[in-house]
Amino acid sequence: MSLKQMLKRLSIFFIFFALFCITNIQNPALAVTPQNLYDKAWKLIQTKYVDETQNQQNWERWRHKYDNVIKDEEDAYVAMATMVDSLGDVYTKFLTPKEYKEESESIQGSLKGIGVQIGVREGKLLIIAPLEDTPGERAGLKSEDEILEIDGKSTKGITVEAAAEKIRGPEGTKVRLLVKRKNEAPKLYTIERANIELKSVSTKAPKIGKVDDNLGYIRLSSFLSKNAAAEFKAALEQLKTKDGIIVDLRSNPGGLLTNSIYIADMLLSSKVIVSTVDRDGYKETQKSLSQVNSIQPVVVLINEGSASASEILAGALKDNKRALIVGKKSFGKGLVQEINKLPDGSALHITIQKYLTPNGTDIHKKGITPDYEVEIKEADVKANKDPQLAKACELLQEQVHKNTNFPQIEIK
């Protein structure tokens, strides 16, 4: 074959290839049948899930299990949810397009509801944390409260996604929650939904207890919003003349891994923040990049509702001896999820890694033990006392007195 003929054939090939690509770009639906959607989810879990055994099961059995059953997207959603449930991992989950849209709105910084983070533990629907200054918090809901009923219907066997859909709703409407608090009789709460602006950081004085005038206080309620790190940096700048800083992570359920790394970077200088380990044992270490050499002493407050990204930040500051930790042992979530958007607008959260604190500690289902364990009793709340906050102030004042000329904060 002559060079001229070869070039002619290659030209024809590339023309057909280009036309094929253009056709698929202009008609993406051709590749997104309900069955293909299910198969894509199957492949994602097969290749990314942190446990290569997929919870000690033959993952191949799921691939063609619903070939003759899936007729439309709703069928595919049920099939995908069932498949994902077989992993026995509450953090790996399927989200319908509606659920994924709501989650995206939360990351953007707003949602319509009552402002509580919820989760399922041992079959119980629990409030992980009420967000600050929201209808849920104002109604008196607390971490570890169990939701028994939503609008008169039992929550037994309910998923987090289904519960969230029932609790959220149009602004101005109401939801009724039957709530059981430890050692108390169930109580019915009727709460009006509102548009929740998810501001993650507050420097306002706490509602109970008192912070000494020469100390700064930063309440970080969530790592979910994309604005969390920027808000935290602004708070540090605002409090740069204070002698010490209290970072309150109590009842903070976590959020974006990147936020915890960015915030830790503001407080650490050239130190390990966290390490992640994937299914193949590959370990990736995140280090602080900033050169912060002069910064106030820090005390971090945690409790049973401090989870995930909260534990990454607390663990990084504790292991690097950058802060003292006060409160109660944290929740114990040491897994990292990746959000995988599917072609139809639905999504999969897949656990792809576990994480280790700088000392190599796996805190999953163990939590972070504070340096100073302090409990808040009901009598303290009634007396408007916060012994955890008081201990934080005491420890900071001790450090301040040892460093009377402590330099001001330097943020880079």
* Residues 178 and 188 sit within 8 Å (Cβ to Cβ): yes
Beta strands in 20-107 (DSSP E): 93-95
For residue 308, indicate whether it is catalytic: yes
**DSSP secondary structure code for residue 37 in this structure:** H
Instruction: Indicate the SS3 state at residue 325.
Output: strand
Question: How many Å apart are CA 296 and CA 407, to the nearest integer?
Answer: 7
* Residues 320 and 358 sit within 8 Å (Cβ to Cβ): yes
Q: Give the residue from 266, 284, 273, 349 showing the smallest Cα distance to 84.
A: 349
- Point out the catalytic residue in the list 319, 344, 354, 386: 319
Q: Give the residue from 239, 235, 231 showing the smallest Cα distance to 212.
A: 239
Beta strands in 157-297 (DSSP E): 174-180, 187-192, 194-197, 201-202, 215-220, 244-248, 272-278, 283-287
For residue 240, indicate whether it is catalytic: no
- Point out the catalytic residue in the list 333, 346, 354, 386: 333
- Point out the catalytic residue in the list 308, 310, 330, 346: 308
Q: Where are the alpha helices (DSSP H) in 239-377?
A: 257-267, 309-319
Question: How many Å apart are CA 160 and CA 99, to the nearest integer?
Answer: 11
Residue type, 208: I
Question: How many Å apart are CA 215 and CA 14, to the nearest integer?
Answer: 68
**DSSP secondary structure code for residue 255 in this structure:** B
Q: Which residue has the tokens 């169930």?
A: 186
- Active-site positions read 308, 319, 333
